[in-house]
Amino acid sequence: MKSTRFIIVLLVLFLYLISCKPKDSQNRLDYSRSLIKVSGAMNVQYSRLNGTDQVQYKVIVQYPAKDTISELNSRLKAKGWEPLKKSWLNPEIPTSHERGWTNFIDGTKKPNLEVHSWHSDWINKKEDILTFALKYSYPVKTKSSMLELNVLGIYVPEELAKKGLAQINEYKKSIGEN
């Protein structure tokens, strides 16, 4: 009987501690200043994941969001970021700076989604990396007004970016790609 009470007390304590887990700050000043919000950004959420700073939000703008992309590009260039022509993690793939919008079927979702994606990578003088991924998505075989743009920005500090590249290159060597 005592052990049952003890287990219940431990369980309640565990659940309490989980519920008290600190949430990521939503103060934009706690994150990289390069995680810009474009005009009309809504439902802005900041987070940290494995050493990166991230921002997610929605913008109501008609595909292909030319003005939004132009704003993103000009504001990042003004902050000293240079667009990369090739993906920093996969240099065989051009970024959307070179190839524009792409589309694919996301078969991992139910129902499957048609996704229109614009993906950009940036580098600054310190060799930090910044990625912005923009996407419109909707269920396959349906019509969409393509008005809801989802934006994800990821800031990767230079040290972490270099470690990531080294790990990828090591993996490629291990499978005979380099």
Residue 109's pLDDT band, with cuts at 50, 70 and 90, is confident
135 SS3 class: strand
State yes or no: pLDDT of 16 exceeds 70: no
Name the pTM for this structure: 0.82
Residue 42's pLDDT band, with cuts at 50, 70 and 90, is very high
8 Å CB contact between 174 and 76: no
Nearest CA-CA partner of 68 in 43, 97, 37: 37
CA 90 to chain centroid, in Å, comes to 16
* Averaged pLDDT, 61-87: 97
In whole angstroms, what is the distance from residue 63 CA to residue 71 CA? 15
Mean pLDDT in the chain?
87
Instruction: Show Cβ contacts of residue 120 under 8 Å, excluding neighbours closer than 6 positions.
Output: 72, 73, 83, 84, 95, 96, 97, 131, 132, 133
State yes or no: pLDDT of 57 exceeds 50: yes
Nearest CA-CA partner of 113 in 148, 61, 67, 86: 148
